[in-house]
């Protein structure tokens, strides 16, 4: 993984012990000193390994989860309360969705398998403990709808909020405040000719903590929006791909 301790002025590569074929899919730093990261790293007993840093990424310790979970998203409301989402591994393939959490600063993690929602991907948590996760909900045997799942606090389950608005898939979500959130993904349909068809990017925003959403405009040369991060100032940046310039950063100011 790449770590910066000088506000992104310089970066260094750190190798974490996770075994052959391991990958890190998500990272969260709720404070300057406390960070957590996880993905598909497991110990010899096939328990998921979550890496925890308490010195801003200079050194990393390991904590394990009593379940083999492929983590796709991780977020923290504080340096004590963090949650991760992903899929339990069954017979070497993705099984039911799983939620992993800690309430003691990353020392002990517990996991819980969930039947509903059927898919949980990236995750964001606000300082009040409200968490949102993007995923898909299966309406019938052939139809899947993009949804954003909202959990008001650790004592409540996720509630399912459909996001129609012509959106087909959501990649990522971020909340700058408990009420202001942005999600990015793809719209329904394709642009271009049949030989050169491309997906249509989509950005949706909410000002009520994920209860309702509206579609936002995107520059016409953007072909993909991959990830998003928002601050309490309501400023957001998003990683995107443009044609013909390649990777760019989109910026939103209030």
pLDDT of the residue at 118: 57
> Which position has the token pair 């709808």?
145
Same-domain pairing of 132 and 254: yes
Same-domain pairing of 54 and 177: no
pLDDT above 80: residue 21? no
Contact criterion met (CB below 8 Å) for 228 and 182: yes
Kindly give the pairing relationship between strand 2-3 and strand 12-13: antiparallel
- Structure tokens given for 99: 């939620």
Domain CATH for 198: 2.120.10.10
pLDDT-derived band at 70, boundaries 50, 70, 90: very high
Q: Encode pLDDT of 139-175 as tens digits.
A: 554 555 677 778 776 666 667 777 778 888 888 999 9
Boundary of a domain, candidates 115, 134, 151: 115
pLDDT of the residue at 15: 86
pLDDT of the residue at 157: 66
pLDDT of the residue at 7: 76
| Residues of the chain above pLDDT 90, percent | 40
Same-domain pairing of 125 and 213: yes
Q: Encode pLDDT of 166-218 as tens digits.
A: 888 888 999 999 999 999 998 888 887 777 777 889 999 999 988 899 999 99
Boundary of a domain, candidates 99, 115, 131: 115
Which residues span the domain enclosing 104?
Answer: 1-115
pLDDT of the residue at 232: 87
Same-domain pairing of 123 and 80: no
What is the C-alpha separation between 59 and 57, in angstroms, rounded? 6
Same-domain pairing of 140 and 175: yes
Query: Long-range contacts of range 133-138, CB-CB < 8 Å, 24 or more positions apart?
Result: 133/73, 133/85, 133/158, 133/173, 134/170, 134/171, 134/172, 134/173, 134/183, 134/185, 135/97, 135/170, 136/169, 137/162
Q: Encode pLDDT of 107-144 as tens digits.
A: 999 998 876 555 677 889 888 888 888 876 655 545 55
Same-domain pairing of 191 and 97: no
pLDDT of the residue at 20: 67
Same-domain pairing of 125 and 250: yes
pLDDT of the residue at 156: 61
User: What is the maximum span of the chain, computed from C-alpha positions, in angstroms?
Assistant: 53
pLDDT-derived band at 59, boundaries 50, 70, 90: very high
pLDDT-derived band at 74, boundaries 50, 70, 90: very high
Per-chain mean pLDDT for the chain: 85
pLDDT of the residue at 48: 92
Same-domain pairing of 39 and 137: no
Total number of domains constituting the chain: 2
pLDDT of the residue at 141: 47
Same-domain pairing of 124 and 249: yes
Same-domain pairing of 149 and 74: no
Same-domain pairing of 125 and 109: no
Boundary of a domain, candidates 88, 115, 142: 115
Same-domain pairing of 92 and 127: no
């Amino acid at each position: 993984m790449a770590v910066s301790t000088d506000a992104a002025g310089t970066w260094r590569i750190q190798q974490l012990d996770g075994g052959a074929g391991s990958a890190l899919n998500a990272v969260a730093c709720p404070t300057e000193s406390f960070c957590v990261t996880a993905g598909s790293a497991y110990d010899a007993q096939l328990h998921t390994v979550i890496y925890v840093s308490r010195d801003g990424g200079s050194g990393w310790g390991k904590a394990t989860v009593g379940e083999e979970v492929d983590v796709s998203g991780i977020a923290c409301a504080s340096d004590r309360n963090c949650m991760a989402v992903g899929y339990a591994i069954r017979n070497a393939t993705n099984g039911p969705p799983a939620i992993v959490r800690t309430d003691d600063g990353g020392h002990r993690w517990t996991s819980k398998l969930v039947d509903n929602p059927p898919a949980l991907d990236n995750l964001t948590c606000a300082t009040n403990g409200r968490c949102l996760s993007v995923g898909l909900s299966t309406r019938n045997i052939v139809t899947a709808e993009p949804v954003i799942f909202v959990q008001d606090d650790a004592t409540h389950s996720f509630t399912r909020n459909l996001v129609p608005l012509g959106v087909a898939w959501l990649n990522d979500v971020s909340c700058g405040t408990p009420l202001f959130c942005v999600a990015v993904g793809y719209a329904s349909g394709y642009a271009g000719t049949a030989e050169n068809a491309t997906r249509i990017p989509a950005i949706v925003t909410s000002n009520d903590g994920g209860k309702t959403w509206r579609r936002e405009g995107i520059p016409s040369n953007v072909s993909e929006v991959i990830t998003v991060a928002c601050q309490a100032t309501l400023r957001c940046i998003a990683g995107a791909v443009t044609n013909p310039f390649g990777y760019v950063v989109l910026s939103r100011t209030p």
